[in-house]
Structure 1
Amino acid sequence: MSVIPLDLASDAVVLPAPQLPSQASLHQTLRGRRSTRSFRPDPVSLATLSALLWAACGINREQTGGRTAPSARGWKEVDIYAVLPEGAYRYEPEAHRLALVSAQDLRGATGVQDFVGAAPLNLVYVAHLDRMVEAALEDRPFLAGTDTGFIAQNVYLCCAAMGLGTVVRAMIDRRGLAKALQLPANQRITLAQTVGWEAPGP
């Protein structure tokens, strides 16, 4: 089953309303949070992708546009790119949809470890440094990295609640991936995170 329909007439994919498992307690979720680097190739469903992205930094307060992850001074400078076999998409939290960036399979470009190219989903976190008004230039990478950490932890907890495996990664050819994602010079890749169903051990 494909995550994204291949016969889209539009470059935008409206995601279904996010549905997270209600039976998982905070205690169970924290006990289940861990990293894994072994993934089955089975695709992640569109419903699961919707829940993951909403948990990462979706809108949880419609009146104010507040997000599930905090952001320094409300800059909301970190964008999420979902890199799938069907292509690379930028998540748009306000509309809860995906915008096509590349129709190529760029999973292998999201990191240097062998498993990233075969895992069904890689999330790439990209900071818009020019959104960070009134912050000193030398402080912006640190603050963007901190905000990325909040988002990545939300994904960890969502994966634990949904029975998915995940690992956050810093080993990235940032220049090559930025070119593949067509990022302008004022945007920086902070981290990547692989998500999928954990493969059984030997």
Structure 2
Amino acid sequence: MPAHINPNVFLIFQPDGVVLWDFERHSQYLLAPEYAQRLLEFAYENRAIAQDDKIDRDLQDQKILSEHPFPQSEWGWDPLARIFHVGTKDIRQDLMPTNDREWAVCHTALCIETIKQETPPFRHVPAGPIAPLPEPDFSTLSSKSLWQTLLGRRTCRQFRQEPVSLQTLSNILYASFGFLSEREAQINEFVPKYLRQRRSSPSGGGLNATEIYLFSLQVHGLDAGTYHYDPADHSLGFIRKIQDPKVLPSLLMGQYFSAELAFGIFIAGRFDRMWWKYGHSRAYRVSLLDVGHLSQTFQLASTACGLKTWLSAAFKDSEVEKLLSIASSAEQVLLFVGAGYSDGEDIDAASHRLLSQLKDELP
């Protein structure tokens, strides 16, 4: 009977050999050449397990091979998504706290060990002018109730190509992404200096492991271009000018209506700040959650300021990185959110025309 290879393993080729990774069991094995060769034989020649062969027994003992089919999981995406999800699921913990003191001891020890390492700094744009922003004015935000704002938030795909004021942009950036001086008095005395920044959204580990990039299209008093937002100084660091607004739809996989936005934000994850405290790849999940929190806050703040919003995770990663001068793999763009004045249409104009022609054929 042909052997079955565990579908939850993959191979990584490294300078010192081939590593087999069982991502479901969180186990890694550096394969000796004869073990790697034997696996290839099972893969290509439909061989049966030889119980008198040490290599076969070892592979069977480690649940890499089996005489019976391995259970198949329901999964609608490709293997890469499954490797990520299953590989960051049910992580092992050597010491499990059983009471409040044990948890506090473990957590404090982790924090103390972490601060012995140098903190990855937030990004500062070294070249180019710094554009100061007006002091935030929260009279508009304060006049809207949370319920009004929640009801008013809507993902739109038609915008009026109408400029927004620099004051409005300032209010939204600070409320969504700024380090809020208004929260400083609330910070516990035991929080170390490197974790004392506070945004209006939660952040995994208090690390604020994100960077914010503005794509300005139609903002009064601000050139069309890309900027880095400094949440500590509440200022914009100029990166480059944008001459053609159609650059944005090209970056966003042809979503042409993005050129009508007044401005957009690319939110990037700073993985090195996550690695600094959390070594396990489950922290990648937290990076995605951080971006989601910031996105929702941005949309609510923009809505309260009278704008409509749109967001997308479909973009050309490498081209966006070049445009934003992101050169490190430790920083990756994860989401785009945009805002502008709109009549509230959630279907773009071209699709609306097409659907109107096809309405008799629609179910």
Task: Tell me if the contact between 1:80 and 1:124 (Cα under 8 Å) persists in the aligned partners.
Answer: yes
What is the match of residue 149 of structure 1?
292
Question: Which has the greater radius of gyration?
Answer: 2
**2:200 is the counterpart of 1:68:** yes
What is the match of residue 60 of structure 2?
none
What is the match of residue 231 of structure 2?
93
Unaligned residue ranges in structure 1 (runs of 5+)? 1-9
Q: Which amino acid aligns with 2:309?
A: T
Residue among 144, 167, 171 paired with 2:314:
171
Q: Which amino acid aligns with 1:79?
A: E
**2:148 is the counterpart of 1:28:** yes
Residue among 232, 236, 240 paired with 1:102:
240
Q: Structure 2 matches for 1:1-202, cutoff 5 A? A: 11-20=129-138, 21=140, 22-60=142-180, 61-62=183-184, 64-85=196-217, 86-105=224-243, 107-112=248-253, 113-132=255-274, 133-184=276-327, 185-199=329-343
CA shift, 1:137, in A, is 5.0
1:200 & 1:58 partners in 2: Cα distance? 27
Q: Which amino acid aligns with 1:42?
A: E
2:267 & 2:251 partners in 1: Cα distance? 10
Q: 1:93 to 1:200 in 2, by over 3 A?
A: closer
2:157 & 2:168 partners in 1: Cα distance? 19
CA shift, 1:17, in A, is 1.3
How many residue pairs end up in the alignment?
A: 193
Give the TM-score, by structure 2 length: 0.50
2:238 & 2:211 partners in 1: Cα distance? 14
Q: Which amino acid aligns with 1:107?
A: L
Unaligned residue ranges in structure 2 (runs of 5+)? 1-127, 186-195, 218-223, 350-363
Q: 1:118 to 1:30 in 2, by over 3 A?
A: closer
Task: Tell me if the contact between 1:108 and 1:118 (Cα under 8 Å) persists in the aligned partners.
Answer: no
CA shift, 1:141, in A, is 2.8
CA shift, 1:198, in A, is 0.7
Task: Tell me if the contact between 1:54 and 1:68 (Cα under 8 Å) persists in the aligned partners.
Answer: no
Task: Tell me if the contact between 2:271 and 2:331 (Cα under 8 Å) persists in the aligned partners.
Answer: yes
CA shift, 1:138, in A, is 2.3
Q: 1:49 to 1:109 in 2, by over 3 A?
A: farther
Task: Tell me if the contact between 2:184 and 2:198 (Cα under 8 Å) persists in the aligned partners.
Answer: yes
Q: What is the root-mean-square deviation in Å for CA atoms of aligned residues?
A: 1.9
Give the TM-score, by structure 1 length: 0.88
- Normalized per residue, the structure richer in strand is 1
2:129 & 2:312 partners in 1: Cα distance? 28
1:26 & 1:19 partners in 2: Cα distance? 18
Q: Which has the higher contact order (CA 8 A, sep 6+)?
A: 1
2:251 & 2:336 partners in 1: Cα distance? 7
CA shift, 1:37, in A, is 1.1
- Provide, for residues 56-84 of structure 1, a one-character-per-residue CA deviation record: whole Å limited to 9, x for no partner: 12122245431111111111111111101
- Normalized per residue, the structure richer in helix is 2
